[in-house]
Amino acid sequence: MVSIAVNKGRENVAMLGIGAYRPTRIVSNAEVCEVLDSTPEWIYERTGIHNRRWISGDETLRTMAAAAGERAIANSGIDRSLIGALVLASSSWLKLTPHGAPTIAHDMGMNGIPAFDLTSGCGGFGYGLGVAADMIRAGSADYILVIGAETMTVGLDPTDRGTAMIFGDGAGAVVVGPSDENGISPTVWGSDGENAEAIAQNVDFLAYMDKAQALQGADPDAEPVGRMSLRMEGPRVFRWAAVTLPRALSSALEMSGVAKEDIEVFVPHQANARINELMRKNLGLADDIPMANDIENTGNTSAASIPLAIEEMLVSGRAKGGQLALLLGFGAGLSYAGQVVRLPPVPLEPSF
Ligand code: UT7
């Protein structure tokens, strides 16, 4: 029988470089409360956020993704001609067709490489990192650029008390490639479609188009077409997180073979500082372990939050390249993905 060839991959993979892009416009709680029925104190107490960054001027998801990707490549020291695939983790690229990754690869001078989008809400970066690591282990590529990029504000209703104060824009990227020692554990991931409506667009594309068409046809009974926006049942997500995420973190440790006492840095998704503090305590990580708190001045940037948070810790000196870190992303779809990793080197080209 004719046999089909099998790829030969590399067993040990790591994040070789990290890059980020933060929008220039800083939006304080006070500014959010000019429109939202809330107070700066309530927002900080319940979420841990003081400021977030929102795109302005020429900034778009496309420009931010390319800028973060450029910095990740420069900081990895890898020649871009070696990048064998681009994975864009995002839930706010505004067209289903064409998807974003090929355009961004082209913008970055890498036209022609395999490039695809991965939509898994705020867990997107963890999914992208897991897929990239496994692609390299399987021999599908040697070096892969994983970008988490979001413009959450495009679909944000500034008057919605469940979301308006939380979300921000930004992009973070890593180059994943072969390494002498393994730097990325197996991924622990999952989803909960039963509760998926807890974080959802207020209306799907078909319903939106039907409404618009009815209005165009001057249907007197047609409801006005509001702007499509994101809704979140925060307390429901909080309860789900309290049950699901401690288990995911324990599994990530178990599958990595790394004892929790050896974890040097904790980088959970930047959704809510209170959730993160609860996870740290429940898992029994030390009180003084360096824990990402990028949410305070960046807000929740969904699939961009973990690489942005890692970059902030490396640039500020709160974490060092090569340290053992526990990552966990979670959000829409009620999906999650986590790994134990060795942090990439401190970026020579930081985002701030
Ligand atoms: O990134 C994706 C993953 N997402 C998450 O992990 C989000 C998880 N959930 C959360 O972060 C929190 O649930 C929120 C920050 C969204 C909300 O905080 P909360 O502590 O769960 O507030 P709540 O909805 O339970 O409301 C508590 C109180 C209520 O007032 P009463 O009934 O106690 O008088 C609300 O009416 O706070 C009120 N409230 C607000 N007050 C000022 C709710 N939203 C606001 C607001 N500003 N924006």
Q: Give tens-digit pLDDT for 55-95.
A: 999 999 999 999 999 999 999 999 999 999 999 999 999 99
C-alpha span between 20 and 149 (Å, rounded): 9
> Which residue has the least CA distance to atom 19 on ligand 1?
235
Once rounded to an integer, what is the mean pLDDT over residues 312-332?
98
Question: Phi and psi dihedrals of 338, rounded to 5?
Answer: -145, 155
C-alpha span between 221 and 219 (Å, rounded): 5
Which whole-number Å values give the CA distances from 169 to 177, 181, 202, 297, in the listed order?
A: 27, 34, 20, 11
Q: What is the pLDDT of residue 211?
A: 83
Q: What is the pLDDT of residue 260?
A: 96
Contact by Cβ (8 Å): 302, 314: no
C-alpha span between 215 and 221 (Å, rounded): 9
Once rounded to an integer, what is the mean pLDDT over residues 105-121?
98
**Residue 47 C-alpha to ligand 1 middle, in angstroms?**
8
Q: What is the DSSP letter of 91?
A: S
Residue 123 binned pLDDT confidence (cut-offs 50, 70, 90):
very high
C-alpha span between 151 and 168 (Å, rounded): 7
**Residue 133 C-alpha to ligand 1 middle, in angstroms?**
36
- Report residues whose beta carbon is within 6 angstroms of any ligand 1 atom: 38, 42, 46-47, 122, 161-162, 165, 199, 234-235, 237-238, 241, 271-272, 275, 300, 331
Within 181-268, strands assigned E span: 188-190, 199-201, 230-232, 265-268
> Which residue has the least CA distance to atom 3 on ligand 1?
331
C-alpha span between 128 and 93 (Å, rounded): 16
Indicate which atom in ligand 1 lies nearest the CA of residue 163. Answer: 16
Please provide the average confidence, as pLDDT, over all residues in the chain.
96
> Which residue has the least CA distance to atom 22 on ligand 1?
235
Contact by Cβ (8 Å): 35, 158: yes
C-alpha span between 125 and 304 (Å, rounded): 7
Indicate which atom in ligand 1 lies nearest the CA of residue 47. Answer: 15
Contact by Cβ (8 Å): 32, 154: no
Percent of the chain with pLDDT over 90: 93
Residue 212 binned pLDDT confidence (cut-offs 50, 70, 90):
confident
**Residue 46 C-alpha to ligand 1 middle, in angstroms?**
7
| 33 carries an active-site annotation | no
Residue, of 55 and 212, whose pLDDT is higher: 55
Contact by Cβ (8 Å): 151, 95: no
Tell which residue, 177, 117, 179, 107, has the closest CA to residue 149: 117
> Which residue has the least CA distance to atom 43 on ligand 1?
161
Question: Which one of 75, 269, 276, 293 is the catalytic residue?
Answer: 269
| 300 carries an active-site annotation | yes
> Which residue has the least CA distance to atom 17 on ligand 1?
234
In DSSP terms, 28 is beta-bridged to 51
pLDDT digits (tens, 9 = 90+) for 284-307: 999 999 999 999 999 999 999 999
Question: Which one of 29, 276, 293, 300 is the catalytic residue?
Answer: 300
Tell which residue, 252, 272, 260, has the closest CA to residue 336: 252
> Whole-prediction pTM value?
0.97
Contact by Cβ (8 Å): 322, 14: no
Helix (H, G, I), strand (E, B) or coil at 184: strand
Exposed, middle or buried: residue 194 (CB in 10 Å: 0-12, 13-18, 19+)?
Answer: exposed
Q: What is the pLDDT of residue 38?
A: 98
C-alpha span between 174 and 193 (Å, rounded): 29
Length reported for the chain: 352
What domains, with CATH codes, occur in the chain? Answer: 7-352 (3.40.47.10)
Sign of the Cα torsion 290, 168, 124, 61 reads negative
Q: What is the pLDDT of residue 207?
A: 86
| 272 carries an active-site annotation | no
Indicate which atom in ligand 1 lies nearest the CA of residue 271. Answer: 1
Contact by Cβ (8 Å): 333, 121: yes
The C-alpha torsion from 203 through 195 and 130 to 78, rounded to 10°, is: 30
Tell which residue, 279, 295, 266, has the closest CA to residue 240: 279
Indicate left, alpha or beta for 324 from its phi (over 0: left) and psi (-120 to 50: alpha). beta
pLDDT digits (tens, 9 = 90+) for 217-262: 877 777 777 888 999 999 999 999 999 999 999 999 999 999 999 9
Ligand 1 pocket test, pick from 29, 46, 305 with the greatest ligand atom count within 8 Å of Cβ, gives 46
Q: What is the pLDDT of residue 210?
A: 84
**Residue 209 C-alpha to ligand 1 middle, in angstroms?**
31
> Which residue has the least CA distance to atom 6 on ligand 1?
271
Residue, of 81 and 204, whose pLDDT is higher: 81
Tokens of 158: 């500034």
